[in-house]
Amino acid sequence: MALLAMAFISTGRGTGLAAPDSGDLSSSDPPTRFPATGRIVAFGDWHGDLDAARTALRLAGAIDEHEHWIGGDLTVVQTGDQIDRGDEEQAILDLLDRLQDEARAAGGALHALLGNHEIMNVEGDFRYVTDGGWADFADAGIVIDDTDSLVVSLPDEQRPRATAFRPGGRYARMLAKRNVAVIIGRTLFVHGGILPDHVAYGLERLNAETRAWLRGTGPMPTVYETKDDPVWARQYSDDPDAADCALLSDVLATLDCDRMVVGHTVQEQGITEQCDDRVWCIDTGAAEYYGGTIQGLEIMASGIRVLSAD
């Protein structure tokens, strides 16, 4: 595996109901904003491809051959869409959940964010689940919630996964440990994009309300009722024009950030920057479903570069 440095620039300023077996998988709520760290490596969508996830984490220097954290004080950000389109979703979610604890104990951090596919599964939207994705959760020891009308409307083989992801279910509660958007130093990370309306809604409110919904203790946040919510917006990743870049400038100025890093929209040529380096688009189609390349965006005080698995 080789690391290729590309696009090196200055970083600028400053350095339903719970299943009976679900257990208490929640932890103390993470904040929305974190201080700057020495080295951040961010990755886009993995879509159920465990090999892609492993390769990416090793590219960053985060894990060893046994998939344990060796990154020390490294910060890794994965911008969502760990699931759907592939067959190894449960293993990816479990790996990230464990590594969050291992990274924290070592003085580092792993931020696995929520993407539109995580939100879709909690909503009960399973359009992109593969046959293997249904079978994966059938062997997870999930106790079916027979009181959930959506769950019981599904074929038997689909009920374990549906129960696991329903609000309050085992994997919904695991997802509740995560943020939708996070700011580290002067960089904002989110799956789709943060628009001015989302800033007005409040990032802390967005994260807190989403966690409550996932835990089954609150309603689905109203922000997800809009077409361009934070996990679906493509204004900055799908050929942004001058008006889109102006929106971005307003958001970054209000949030006191230098740049935004987004996934969601596959960049066929690899990681790209838009709007004069103020947005970095890091969904490279790394999963087998897309057949793209595995790349990570490294952010340090000295500059930004793209790391590629060769």
Catalytic residue, chosen from 47, 117, 191, 264, is 117
Produce one character per residue of 20-39: b if its CB has 16 or more CB atoms within 10 Å, e if not.
Answer: eebeebeeeebebebebbeb
* Partners of 295 in the β-ladder: 308
| C-alpha span between 263 and 274 (Å, rounded) | 13
Catalytic status, residue 117 = yes
CB atoms near residue 189 (< 10 Å): 29
Phi, psi of 51, deg, nearest 5: -60, -40
Which alpha helices (DSSP H) does the chain contain, by range?
50-59, 89-105, 116-123, 131-138, 149-152, 159-165, 170-175, 196-201, 203-215, 242-255
* Partners of 72 in the β-ladder: none
| C-alpha span between 118 and 229 (Å, rounded) | 14
| C-alpha span between 109 and 75 (Å, rounded) | 5
Nearest to 306 by CA among 41, 6, 77: 6
Nearest to 42 by CA among 188, 180, 240, 177: 188
Active site residues: 117
